[in-house]
Chain A
Amino acid sequence: MGVRITGMGIVSAIGLSVAENLLSLRETRSGIAPMKFLAKGNNLLTGEVKISNEDLISRHHLKSSNISRTSLLGLAAAKEAWGNNQHNDQLRTGIISATSVGGMDGSENFYRDYIGKDNPDFRVLSCHDSGNTTERIAAELGISGYINTLSTACSSGANAIMLGARMLLQGKLDRVLVGGTDALTQFTINGFRSLMIYDDQWCRPFDDSRSGLNLGEGAAFLLLENEKSLSFSGNETLSYVNGWANAADAYHQTASSPDGKGATMAIQQAIRKSEISLSDISYINAHGTGTKNNDLSESVALKNVFGADVPAFSSTKPYTGHTLAAAGAIEAVFSVLSIQHGLIYPNLNFQTAIVEEGLIPAKRLQNTPVQTVLSNSFGFGGNNSSLVFSRNS
């Protein structure tokens, strides 16, 4: 039983709206470049959203400038997804976001001043906690009631979509905004560098020479509606989310298991839930971060599930960077666009297949009917999620 997707919103390195993102995808234009907004003069390659906090605040007519960039990005995407929908006492409306950094963009600046005894501004800490970043978005949209935030690193955004779908199917909500948001921070950049998985060069997912990820930032939301909500809104259905699953690797604190166990389980269970056959999967939007570990583990998982018949697949992270908690949501939007517009995105920077596995991703943009997309988001701590999107319920 699929759940209807009737709205989408996105901000990423490749655009500040669904339309802008679609254009960049069609024109094969990546948004990864040396940092400009977070730290000028640092040549690290990141997928920054090309707008400052000041511009976001003024765009959304916000009264307070004490707000995390994570909330600002999330608000931009959530507003687009909400669109012209109206509030309605007869509908139970909720919002489920996901984030890994929360308000850390502000907190890390506070802490720098704090340890330097340089007049630290404690007020920014009111934006620190993850839940608060979602509450700010909800408040701006006039949503009260079920407001929730998940935090499971790189699988967070996918998990928010899954939870929203389950809340609808079990009759707890009538409509729900689901997605994720993460801003770039020194904290996460330094974190991934300390793990030695941050590539100085532009990332090359599934390529044998890959040596790490490029971080990105962004946000995306989907609006899910049940039949009752649809009877009020009359919204067009863009696509369905038909299958979902979350499985733990239980292998290591950060590395994915070499036998791809958790990933295999997530993919299999999501497809089983969708009741769609393996051969009907038109395209896979892979997690594909470009790290040695993920791309190998994910390749093993894909072969475990699909055997010799792995469908067309690609990672879109060379466009956007790895957007952490937003990734599952950003890539959900790309999956829906793939179905709506019949597009299979190329896996940029691919040249040579991984020696151990030999899988070859899509190398060029393809215009071809897309019925069903599998989207993977595999996180730190072995938290693996897969979603199945389809044209039909």
Chain B
Amino acid sequence: MFYISAASTISHQPTFKNAGFSNAIEELEKGSALLNPDFKEYIDSGLLRRMSKILRMSVACAKDCLRQAGIEQPDSIVVGTGLGCLLDTEKFLNNFLTIEGLLPPTAFIQSTHNTIAGQISLGLGNHGYNMTHTQNTLSFEHALQDAILLLGEDNEHVLVGAADEYIEILDEIGTAFKLAPVTLTSGSSFFVLSGRRSETSMAKIADVETIGGVRDVSSQIDVFLKRNRLDRGMIDQVFFADNLISSMPSILKKSFPGHVEYLNYPLYSGLYATNSAFGLHFAIDKMQLNRGIRNVLICNHLINNNLGLTLVQSLEA
């Protein structure tokens, strides 16, 4: 059993340092903006100038988490990101395709996926295991699984999170791929996952599974619940992300009994590859406000090919 001892999210919703946000937020409207905290509280202004959105969000959330959990150094830092540092990637592409002669290297340096985890370790002076998972919509679940492995080895606290950033060209790409008009956003969610319960513990992570090339979503859910000695009747809430074929509502309603509450979390976070991390924070926050919730399933089927399942339990469950 693994304990969430801190959670921090920067998104288009007022989530940052706002415990209890889950009851106050509504589905995102068109034209919403990323709600930035005062980054200078977390990042030196000299560094901040050169940091892209995804870097500043992640560093701020990471630091906020450590403060919440009351720890100075996590044993490891594990990050998931679907598309990585897009702003700097596009910037460097522009640079080398248009500039003659010597190129400025900053955008290249900051374009690599592991800059996020690397920048966090740099800011903390952390020498522990430092990993970046990039499996598009399952990147966060893979990071969580790695964190669980680490806690089963010799780690006590793992800083684990995910982030993705929006750039304008994504809208055009969405149109070119004939994706339904959806609100593309940025977001970053970080957590401290610990091996033992403490006074800052908020919930338990019982299990995480990632299935690439998934065929029968319903039976995968069954296998997952059975492995955790649960039946569908014991689930209180299902937080889900639906793919463009919109299969989830029918799968869920067919599979779960009437009392289960469903929440389509991308409607709150907007669309980015690792929004299941937002989903997790959303679920954990709801759990703090309603002590009756015991078992929550997060069903990430954001793209048709991939299924991520996370079982979150209340501390009493």
Q: Tell me the A residues contacting B by CB distance below 8 Å.
A: 100, 102, 108, 111-112, 114-115, 122, 125-126, 128-132, 134-135, 138-139, 143-153, 159, 163, 166-167, 170, 172, 186-187, 190-191, 193-195, 246-254, 261-262, 265, 379-383
Contacts and interface: CB of A to CB of B under 8 A. Distances in A.
Contacts of A148: 133, 135, 138, 142, 210
Given A100-B113, A167-B149, A253-B110, A129 B82 contact: yes
A166 B153 contact: yes
A153 B112 contact: yes
A138 B96 contact: no
B214 interface: yes
A254 B153 CA distance: 29
Interface string B124-158: 11111111111110110010011001001100000
Q: B interface, how many residues as a size bin?
A: 35 or more
Interface in B89-127: 90, 92-98, 102-105, 108-115, 117-119, 121-122, 124-127
A31 to B, nearest CB: 25
A170 B122 CA distance: 30
A374 B142 CA distance: 28
Interface of B: 77, 82-84, 90, 92-98, 102-105, 108-115, 117-119, 121-122, 124-136, 138-139, 142, 145-146, 149, 152-153, 169, 173, 176-177, 210-215, 273, 305
B211 A191 contact: no
Contacts of A380: 109, 112, 114, 118
A377 to B, nearest CB: 13
Given A111-B97, A166-B149, A152 B103 contact: no
Main secondary structure on B side of the interface with A: mixed
A190 B114 contact: no
A381 B112 CA distance: 9
B280 to A, nearest CB: 18
A196 to B, nearest CB: 8
Contact of B126 (A111, A147, A250): A250
Contacts of B134: 102, 129-131, 149-151
Contact of A144 (B83, B102, B213): B213
19 contacts: A129-B83, A129-B134, A129-B136, A130-B135, A131-B138, A146-B210, A148-B138, A152-B113, A170-B149, A190-B103, A191-B108, A247-B130, A248-B118, A248-B121, A248-B129, A250-B122, A253-B109, A262-B127, A382-B121
Contacts of A149: 133-135
